[in-house]
Amino acid sequence: MRKNTVRSLWALALVSLLWTGVARGQDVQPPRATAPPNAPDAAGAMAAQIGQMIGGAEFMLILDKPFEAEKLFGAILSMDPNNAYAKQGLERVKVAKRPNWTFLVHPFTFPKLDQSMFTYGGGPSFYSKNLKSTFWIGDGWYKNNIDPNNKDNPLGFLGYQIGTADDAALRKQTYNVILEPYYKQFDGYFFLNRTVYQEAPDRWLFFGKATWNRQFGRESYALSGGQHDSYFQNDLAQFFAPESWTAVQQKILSREVGASATHPFGRFIDTTASFQYFDYTDGNNRKMVRLQGMYRILPGKAKQMPIFRVGASYLYDDGDFAALYYYIPLNYHHVQISADYTYVAGNTRYGIYGNLPVTGESGTGFGRFNPPYTTYMFINHKLNAKNEIWGKYAGLQIKNNGPAFGDWVFGFNTRF
């Protein structure tokens, strides 16, 4: 059974939290206010206000919200018409409003379970007031040729039952729409996917999420729901590989609803809690609870970068019955040490997040698993105002030399 599947999603859930921190932790440029020489107190207050507004505008550009950045740069110029930084910022806003074309490749390997995938594609993103719209097309293949002689594969016995039917790779084509509305402190996300297989049933996949950011980067509340063909798919990993050849052929999907909250305690403590409920098309059900507490070691006083946090995470995961064709634990409990490091400066931002299990094997019957070690890394680098390269990696290794997988995505963004 897919023991290593346990913790990668937790890594990706952690990524969701950390991406917010990444966006919040931009370098705030020093204020460039021109103040009346005979009013030093007023000059200082205006300089501080402009500094905050500049930081907010840069934050909006990192979040890919150029219209919000334009409002802030415009407000700065209404206060200080000669502010050179705001004028230069408006020039960058003009570029940021242009359609953004993404090209990417996505390889995935899961050797001990005889799985692999390679896809490629991309498409444009368009920007309007309070909405980013993305339209992507993808092509590639997915393969899960179970080798009955692979002693590391706990599902190797299925190779005798399936025979040669799974030998060939399944061509996998996707047609995708992503809508990201936003208004003041509210963010939305809606993903609609049509996956077409040449030799397996086609399917509709989707995911929606609504978030209230009471305090950007530290306090937020969200509701979500969707339909997936992989436990790992979410708003940050929409195209994660399906769980098995048999699950694809039988069109086993999971429908999900969930709620999450991120809440700070003072300056140094961040806490997160979430609940998810899954309803599988084969009649199975699943409940999942995650709790996390993180202590902010960095940044230091009066600094915004880097962000470095260390803490602990807890996961409870329980399904109705064990399944051969997809990962689902029964009465599973897991505690781990979690850490993350994020750095954003100028044209480059990167981060690494990891989880180290401190508990052992858990669960009942065929739903009993060892916990995993997980790693997530990302890097984005702007070559210039129009072009950006980026990469992401998610890796998982089950404790006690269990199965392991690696998921890579490499991309290039350009604006026309």
Highest mean predicted confidence (pLDDT) among 19-23, 57-61, 150-154, 181-185: 181-185
Mean pLDDT of 157-171: 85
Which of 19-33, 113-127, 339-353 shows the lowest mean pLDDT across its residues?
19-33
Task: Name which residue leads in pLDDT, 71 or 34.
Answer: 71
Distance CA 336, CA 375 (A): 13
> What does the pLDDT read at residue 28?
30
CATH architecture of 99-415: Beta Barrel (2.40)
Distance CA 373, CA 29 (A): 38
Give burial (CB, 10 Å; 0-12/13-18/19+) of 61.
buried
Residue 16 has pLDDT above 60, yes or no: no
Identify which of 67, 72, 62, 60 has the alpha carbon closest to the alpha carbon of residue 22: 62
> What does the pLDDT read at residue 303?
77
> What does the pLDDT read at residue 409?
95
In three-state form (DSSP H/G/I as H, E/B as E, the rest C), the secondary structure along 187-215 is EEEEEEEEEEECCCCCEEEEEEEEEEEEE
Distance CA 8, CA 353 (A): 11
User: How far from chain centre, in Å, is Cα 303?
Assistant: 25
Distance CA 396, CA 305 (A): 27
Percent of the chain predicted with pLDDT > 70? 90
Residue 327 has pLDDT above 50, yes or no: yes
> What does the pLDDT read at residue 153?
77
pTM of the model: 0.84
Which of 47-56, 354-363, 401-410 shows the lowest mean pLDDT across its residues?
47-56
Confidence of residue 39 (pLDDT cuts 50, 70, 90): low
Domain boundaries, the chain: 99-415
Residue 107 has pLDDT above 60, yes or no: yes
Q: What is the pLDDT of residues 385-416, one digit of tens each?
A: 899 999 999 999 988 877 889 999 999 999 98
Residue 26 has pLDDT above 60, yes or no: no
> What does the pLDDT read at residue 40?
59
Start-to-end CA span in the chain (Å): 47
> What does the pLDDT read at residue 38?
53
Confidence of residue 6 (pLDDT cuts 50, 70, 90): very low
Confidence of residue 229 (pLDDT cuts 50, 70, 90): very high
Distance CA 180, CA 378 (A): 21
Q: What is the pLDDT of residues 176-191, one digit of tens each?
A: 999 999 999 999 999 9
Strand, helix or coil at 57?
helix
The strand pairing partners of 205, in sequence order, are: 193
The two three-digit tokens of residue 365, written as one number: 């019957």
> What does the pLDDT read at residue 345?
76
Secondary structure element (H or E) that encloses residue 248, with its range: helix 245-249
Strand, helix or coil at 176?
strand
Task: Name which residue leads in pLDDT, 237 or 270.
Answer: 270
Do 247 and 326 meet the contact criterion of CB atoms below 8 Å apart?
A: yes
> What does the pLDDT read at residue 17?
28
Residue 85 has pLDDT above 70, yes or no: yes
Identify which of 401, 405, 398, 400 has the alpha carbon closest to the alpha carbon of residue 3: 398
Residue 98 has pLDDT above 70, yes or no: yes
